[in-house]
Structure 1
Amino acid sequence: MVDIEKYNEKIFENIKHINEFNHEFWYGRELAEVLEYMKWGNFRKVIEKAKIACENSNLNVLDHFADVGKMVQLGSGSEREIDDIMLSRYACYLIVQNADSRKKVVALGQTYFAVQTRKQELEEEFEQLTEDRKRISIRNELINHNKSLAEAAQMAGIDDPRDYALFQNRGYQGLYGGLGAKEIKEKKGLKKSHKILDYMGSTELAANLFRATQTDEKLRRENIKGKHKANEVHYEVGAKVRKTIKELGGTMPEDLPTPEKSVKQIEKEERKKLKSGENEDE
């Protein structure tokens, strides 16, 4: 069976270009070749259908489809200009939706561009969120991923609550340069009853989300067995996330500011505002 993710990475990511404004685009002729269209004229028909779909979505066609000329070298060594088209990721998505789906590579392209286009939309939506909304969003993701992590830890042999607390602590120690849950709370000025994750900003929460998801995957992928091994995996993943932050010039998690309000407080205030608005409408 073809590894779809790797196959897509090879054939679609490798023909992606980045312009001077750091925007990604694809050339039509290169995409046609990948999608196994031997005649440019036949592929142009697919592009025209995609343009109509773009227009029907009330989007500016020129923002996604830009005709360009490109110089190609002939066998004689001379060059001549041929017409081509610069395509956005969304344009490529529309093209593969209108291409010959009987071709396996077209079906792969439909999956790839659908996933990547949605991912891009989510990223853009996330960037528009306020810091409070980002915190709520990532915190809720962490709740779900921590459930999966707990399941993976249990499969590795950690089935006692006290052992799981130690397992979680090792993850924190890796990410926070040796600091465990108790030390992190002290550094942040939190009470013993406070949940650490509720008093993190979006950047710190994102680092912990990455720690949790990568540990979960590694435990499952490598079929880790035994409490000690599972604990060390969590520590190692946390340490690698920390190393990456350092290499990127980021602030260490323990040095990031602690928000005044917890995620729970923000959610409570939002529910109150929502309820207040509903009462005003009545």
Structure 2
Amino acid sequence: MDSRDIEKWRVKLDSYANVEDGVEYWLARDLMEPMGYTRWENFAEVVKRAKVSCETNKTPVDSHFRDTTKMVTAGVAARAVKDYKLTRYACYLIAQNGDSNKQEIALAQAYFAVQTRRQELIEQRFAEIQRLQARHSLSDSEKQLSGIAFKRGVDSKGFAIIKSKGDEALFGGKSTAEMKQQLGVSKSSALADRLADVLIKAKDLTNSMTAFNAEEHDLYGLDQIKQEHVENNTSVRGSLIDRGIVPENLPPAEDTKKLERRVKADEKKLKEGTDGFTDPQGRLDL
């Protein structure tokens, strides 16, 4: 998605904003389609999860999620359907609880996280959220691969060898330790935290390929699974180099751990900076 697409999407979200007694809000049914959902039943489940998150964060749910109705026309008949008035914070929580595979969800997180609507800030936060999503996906695929490996006769020491040999194949013979030193990563930190986004996704892909083939071809033991992982990393490396991307030559990217802390701090500011549908005395304006 390029800058022009993001700008069109931002303008659309801007057009749905309303103001009630000085409080900016959006209607859930207006946001459903821009967030990548076509069925209200599915989107309503996301809203429910967001309300639970709000309660878990010890924030009054009714201050950010206001029940309302909307009139819709079917043929010549009109009927009232359930809807919600949502503060900016409520919208952010909905985006957090949406399908992370939808590009619109990452955009929504970026849009509602920033208090200003400046295009460049939305683009920056969108890129940051996508980087964090990629890193989380890599963690998930690594856990999946380790689980499969353990069931197929590989212990924790053996799995560490599989990961290490995979890195050597991806980085042209350079070990994990050598890449950490090159990128300025401490021994106790994960190499992936400082890798460029394209390499995080590359490692995620090789994990998924190895996990799939280990089960598909009934691979067993350290040697067979290690060989499969090395071949997959070698294949992915070849594809990257064919497109002019040399994995070991890419510069370090921002530490995902630091990035996640900053995003969470911004989320806290967002939470504290929105009063919701309440007056100074804390009463709901029903």
TM-score range, shorter chain: 0.5 to 0.7
Partner of 1:257: 251
Partner of 2:142: 146
Mapped pair 1:232 → 2:212: no
Alignment of 1:34-45 (within 5 A): none
Mapped pair 1:122 → 2:102: yes
How far did 1:183 drift? 1.3
Mapped pair 1:277 → 2:270: yes
Partner of 1:266: 259
**Distance in 2 between the 1:135 and 1:219 partners?**
28
CA-atom RMSD in angstroms: 2.5
Answer whether contact 1:211 1:237 (CA < 8 A) is retained. Answer: yes
The 3 A distance-change label for structure 1 pair 149 and 245 is same
Structure 1 runs not aligned, ≥5 long? 1-56, 60-118
**Distance in 1 between the 2:237 and 2:205 partners?**
11
Partner of 2:37: none
**Distance in 2 between the 1:223 and 1:155 partners?**
11
Partner of 2:29: none
**Distance in 1 between the 2:33 and 2:154 partners?**
54
Alignment of 1:22-37 (within 5 A): none
Equivalent AA in structure 1 for residue 146 of structure 2: A
Alignment of 1:108-257 (within 5 A): 122=102, 130-159=126-155, 161-247=156-242, 249-257=243-251
How far did 1:58 drift? 9.1
RCO comparison, higher one (Cα < 8 Å, 6+) = 2
Answer whether contact 1:131 1:202 (CA < 8 A) is retained. Answer: no
**Distance in 1 between the 2:104 and 2:244 partners?**
22
Alignment partner of 2:174: what SS? coil
TM-score normalised over the length of structure 1: 0.53
Equivalent AA in structure 2 for residue 262 of structure 1: D
Answer whether contact 1:171 1:235 (CA < 8 A) is retained. Answer: yes
Answer whether contact 1:172 1:238 (CA < 8 A) is retained. Answer: yes
The 3 A distance-change label for structure 1 pair 124 and 174 is farther
**Distance in 1 between the 2:241 and 2:274 partners?**
50
Equivalent AA in structure 1 for residue 152 of structure 2: A
Query: Share of identical aligned residues, percent?
Result: 21
**Distance in 1 between the 2:210 and 2:169 partners?**
12
Alignment of 1:48-127 (within 5 A): 122=102
The 3 A distance-change label for structure 1 pair 172 and 125 is same
Equivalent AA in structure 2 for residue 266 of structure 1: L
**Distance in 2 between the 1:172 and 1:152 partners?**
19
Query: Which of these two proteins has the greater Rg computed from alpha carbons?
Result: 1
Equivalent AA in structure 1 for residue 160 of structure 2: A
**Distance in 2 between the 1:189 and 1:243 partners?**
25
Equivalent AA in structure 1 for residue 249 of structure 2: D
Alignment partner of 1:275: what SS? helix
TM-score normalised over the length of structure 2: 0.52
Equivalent AA in structure 1 for residue 200 of structure 2: L
Alignment partner of 2:273: what SS? helix
How far did 1:155 drift? 2.4
The 3 A distance-change label for structure 1 pair 214 and 193 is same
**Distance in 2 between the 1:246 and 1:166 partners?**
25
**Distance in 2 between the 1:125 and 1:256 partners?**
28
**Distance in 1 between the 2:198 and 2:163 partners?**
19
The 3 A distance-change label for structure 1 pair 125 and 270 is closer
**Distance in 2 between the 1:156 and 1:168 partners?**
16
**Distance in 1 between the 2:129 and 2:168 partners?**
27
The 3 A distance-change label for structure 1 pair 230 and 126 is same
**Distance in 1 between the 2:266 and 2:106 partners?**
22
**Distance in 1 between the 2:130 and 2:227 partners?**
30
How far did 1:124 drift? 6.5
**Distance in 2 between the 1:156 and 1:170 partners?**
18
Task: Say how many residue pairs are matched.
Answer: 163
- Per-residue CA distance 1:153-190 (angstroms, 9 max, x = gap): 1122112x222111111111111111221111112122
